[in-house]
Structure 1
Amino acid sequence: MCLDLAHLGQAEHRADADFLYGPPDASGNDTYVLCEINVSSVFAVPDDAPTAIARAMAMRLHRPAP
């Protein structure tokens, strides 16, 4: 099942819903019960962030121990 999350803003959202079979209705047709909704939000990382993180980590690794 696909959920429309466009109204939540500019961030990218991913969602899915899981359903289980419910009891048959009066006519014997299948019914479904909502079991779980999973939603995650993903934000963009600035292009220069990985370089800055790597530089900071390299500096920390080369720093003398206190």
Structure 2
Amino acid sequence: MLGLGEYIVLGFILLVVFSAARMGQLGNAVGKFVYSFRKASRGQDLVDVKSLPQSRRGSTDADFTEPPKDRRS
């Protein structure tokens, strides 16, 4: 088993190898993961899906774009 001294030495070596900037990025990524995981576990990221009206089913948004207006000076 590793003692406290060995863990401190390993931490220092990791800090030197990966540099403080990368360790900060790693901490930021872990923090974002934990935040999104907690949010997902509470169900706060669920999207309310509404069905499309009959007239829009099976069509694309391109079918419903308005034609450009003529600009006459």
Say whether the fold is shared (TM-score over 0.5): no
Structure 1 or 2, whichever has the larger Rg, is: 2
Q: Which of structures 1 and 2 has the larger relative contact order (alpha carbons within 8 angstroms, sep 6+)?
A: 1
TM-score using structure 1 length? 0.28
TM-score using structure 2 length? 0.26
